[in-house]
Amino acid sequence: MERDTVLLKDSGEDIAAAAELIRSGNVVAVPTETVYGLCADAVNEAAVRAVFAAKGRPADNPLIVHLSDFSEAVKYTKSIPELAYRLAERFCPGPLTMVLPKNDRIPMITSGGLETVGIRVPSHPVMHRIIQLSGCAIAAPSANISGLPSPTCAAHVMDDMKGRIAAVVDGGESRFGVESTVISFEGENSVRILRPGAVTRKMLLEICEEVIVDPAILKELEEGSIAASPGMKYKHYSPKADVVMVEGELDRFIEYISENYGENVYSLIFDGDADNFPYRYVTYGADSEEQAHFLFQRLRELDEIGADKVYVRAPSKDGVGLAVYNRLIRAAGFEVIRV
């Protein structure tokens, strides 16, 4: 249904208006420290259905539920391991989502048919205030059309969601630029990373004895296998252009581009590569933190300038680099070339 989408500011008055819209069953896009989220009351089935419809999201891809404080998690879960409390003490509020057994207050539509629910406590002051004022647990996937790069500013959200949702709150650029780290619990002192994000394996190892990186983070799921995290099975984060990841040194990368160059072919390279780079390019930061911050923004820009083919210099897999690599390999539909 086509409707007006109101652009709200991050003023006290507009934040209160956004919270009231959510409380009364509407869908509103809100800035968070990871990316912008498409927010609805997590226990209101009609509102959650409207989120899936606005995104065109497959019904089996669960929504993360956002709370104002981790102590609220008892209201929506059957049990919480002791390790979760220790992790919450260190990483909540922040970009960490913990998968826990859900209770009956969380509708099946919110959890994508699973008996578990991902719980996160965002640190962004606007999102935090909206959760508090609405009094709701807020289900919020990334505020993009399903399959497209996640939005890191209000203009990206408007590009995808104008006419589909009630309002967008403009809170500037998202700090991290990639979605939260999603973990599940394996044992008393052990977790599994289902989706990498700004909370890195090394950071989790400060609290947990064992941190398993799910194999589906770096490679394509085999046909017929079951995804530990449903989002892993979908092609994701893709601009219109065909993306190919190229692993190797800069001189070999340049050689490869020279052999595959043509109209509307672009390279997505590191800041330090740009001096004397002989072909059309866009840069995406100098280190993993910057690459995470800029990646989705640059993928959207490449569409705007009309790129048909994008060769990306493969990022480091260290630290938050693992999250950047994970998003890019999905944007590339797992097409990786080693030079």
List residues near ligand AMP by CB under 6 A. 61-64, 99, 111, 114, 116-118, 141-142, 179, 182, 194-195, 229-232
Q: Report the residue closest to Mg ion, judged by CB.
A: 142
Looking at the Cβ atoms of 237 and 284, the one nearer to ligand AMP is: 237
State the minimum distance, in angstroms, from the CB of residue 184 to ligand AMP.
6
Pick from 139, 155, 171, 162: nearest CA to 51:
139
Structure tokens of 106? 């969380």
Region near Mg ion per CB under 5 A, out of 10-18, 36-44, 68-76, 134-142: 134-142
Looking at the Cβ atoms of 167 and 232, the one nearer to Mg ion is: 232
Prior bond of 93 cis (ω within 30°): yes
Cα–Cα distance measured from residue 242 to residue 334, given in angstroms and rounded to the nearest whole number = 11
Looking at the Cβ atoms of 142 and 283, the one nearer to Mg ion is: 142
State the minimum distance, in angstroms, from the CB of residue 339 to Mg ion.
30
Structure tokens of 45? 């089935």
Using rule CB under 5 A, residue 181 touches Mg ion: no
User: How many CA atoms lie less than 13 Å away from 265 in the CB half-sphere?
Assistant: 13
Among residues 44, 110, 142, 174, which is the contact residue for Mg ion, using CB under 5 A? 142
Q: What angle do CA 233, 236, 107 make, to 5 degrees?
A: 65
State the minimum distance, in angstroms, from the CB of residue 139 to ligand AMP.
9
State the minimum distance, in angstroms, from the CB of residue 298 to ligand AMP.
19
Partner whose binding site includes residue 312, from Mg ion, ligand AMP, none (CB under 5 to 8 Å by kind): none
Pick from 205, 161, 173: nearest CA to 34:
173
Partner whose binding site includes residue 61, from Mg ion, ligand AMP, none (CB under 5 to 8 Å by kind): ligand AMP
What are the counts of helices (DSSP H) followed by strands (DSSP E) for the chain? 9, 16
Looking at the Cβ atoms of 142 and 180, the one nearer to Mg ion is: 142
Looking at the Cβ atoms of 183 and 307, the one nearer to ligand AMP is: 183
What's the gap between Cα 277 and its chain centre? 31
Cα–Cα distance measured from residue 333 to residue 21, given in angstroms and rounded to the nearest whole number = 37
Structure tokens of 36? 């912008």
State the minimum distance, in angstroms, from the CB of residue 232 to Mg ion.
12
Query: Contact 339/248 with Cβ under 8 angstroms?
Result: yes
In the complex, which residues of this chain contact Mg ion (CB under 5 A)?
142
